[in-house]
Amino acid sequence: MSAPIEKVCLVGANGSLGSVILDALVAAHTFSVSVLVRANSTSTPAHADRITQIPFSPTFDTAELTRLLAGQDAVIAAFPLKDVSQHLRLAEAACAAGVRRYVPADYGSCDARSPRAQRHLQLYRDKAAVQALCETLAKAHEGFSWTSIVSGHFFDWGLRNNVLNMDVAARTALALDDGTARASASTLPRVAQAVVRVLQRHKATRDRFVFVQSFCATPLEVLAALERATGGEAWKTDKAESEAFLDGETKKYEAGDEHALHNIVFALGQVGADWTTREEFAMDLLGLEDEDLDEVVERVVGEMKAEGLA
C-alpha cells in the first residue's frame, strides 16, 4: 500500500455528487481517471477529453465488472443505493480485480451504523450491509482496503432541492426541538475534496471511517444566515419534537408517502450528527478546514436567485 493511488475509476459520474467528484479528481492532476458508463446511457460525462470511459452492462454482472476494473488502484461508488445488490457486486468485483482502495456510497445525512437510522430506513441498513462486506473483504484480502466518508447533509444541494426544511423561495423553516443542536453538514465540493484527500492519504485512511464537514451549525444559526442572505426579514419558523417527527414521517412513508422519505433523512441528519465529537472526525487528518456558513449560504442563495428559484 506504499505506492500512490494513481488509476481511479468513478461509478456514477453523471450524478449530482458524482459529477462534482469527477471535477475534483480531474482538477487534482494526480490521477488517471476512468468512469464506468452504462452501455445504454445517453449521457456523456464531463471532461470527456481527459478521462477514459468504460462501457458496462447495466446488469452489474460481477464477472464483467471484475474484468473492467482490473488495473485500477481505486474505485469510487457515487450512485444512489436504490439497489443494494449493485453496490455489493461492485465491491466484490473491485476486490476480485485487485483494486487497492474502495470508497462505498456512504457520504450524506447520518452515520449509517446508527441503530436509530437503521430502525427508520432500509437505506441505512443497506449502507451498513455494504460496509460490512467491505470489512469482510479487507480482512480476507490483504491488498484490498476501504474508506467510508461520512459528510452529514449535502448542504448546498439540500437547500437548492428544498429537502432540509429551509424553503428559500417561501422563506419558511422547520427547526427540530429547540433548534440549538449542532449538526455537521457538507457542500458537494467539500465531499469531493474529501474523496481526493482520502486517495492522496491512502495509508492514513485505510479501513476506516472519515467524518468530514463544511461546518457544524445549529438550525437557528443556519436560519439566521439565510435571513441575512435574503434581505434581513424574519422567516416564518415552525418547530417540532424530533422523535415525534421521525415517528410520524416513518408512518407516512410506510403508508406510501414518498415525500416522507426526505423528511426522515432530514431529521436523522439533524439528530446526533455533530461530527466534531466523534473519534473518527478527520478534518485534521485530511488537511481540511471549515467553510464559512454565511459565505456558503450567500453563494447558494445567489445562484438560486439567478436561476429564478428564490
- Is pLDDT above 80 for 1? no
- The alpha-carbon radius of gyration of the chain (Å, integer) is 20
In the chain, % of residues over pLDDT 70: 100
Q: What are phi and psi of 198, to 5 degrees?
A: -60, -45
Cell, residue 63 = 464477472
Q: What are phi and psi of 216, to 5 degrees?
A: -130, 90
**pLDDT at position 2:** 75
- Residues 159-176 pLDDT 10s: 999 999 999 999 999 999
Strands 52-56 and 7-11: unpaired
**pLDDT at position 234:** 97
**pLDDT at position 63:** 97
**pLDDT at position 268:** 96
- In the predicted model, what is the mean pLDDT of residues 289-310? 96
**Are the CB atoms for 52 and 33 separated by under 8 Å?**
yes
41 or 231, greater pLDDT: 231
Cell, residue 10 = 468513478
- Residues 53-77 pLDDT 10s: 999 998 999 999 999 999 999 999 9
Cell, residue 265 = 433523512
- Is pLDDT above 80 for 13? yes
- In the predicted model, what is the mean pLDDT of residues 2-12? 95
Cell, residue 14 = 453523471
Q: What is the pTM of this model?
A: 0.96
For 181, what's the count of Cα atoms within 13 Å in the CB-facing half-sphere? 17
Q: Which residue is listed with cell 466484490?
A: 92
Map out the domains of the chain with their CATH numbers: 7-152+188-211 (3.40.50.720), 154-184+215-275+289-307 (3.90.25.10)
* Phi-psi map region of 30: left, alpha, beta (phi>0 left; psi -120 to 50 alpha): alpha
- Is pLDDT above 60 for 41? yes
Q: Which residue is listed with cell 451498513?
A: 128
- Is pLDDT above 80 for 269? yes
- Is pLDDT above 80 for 145? yes
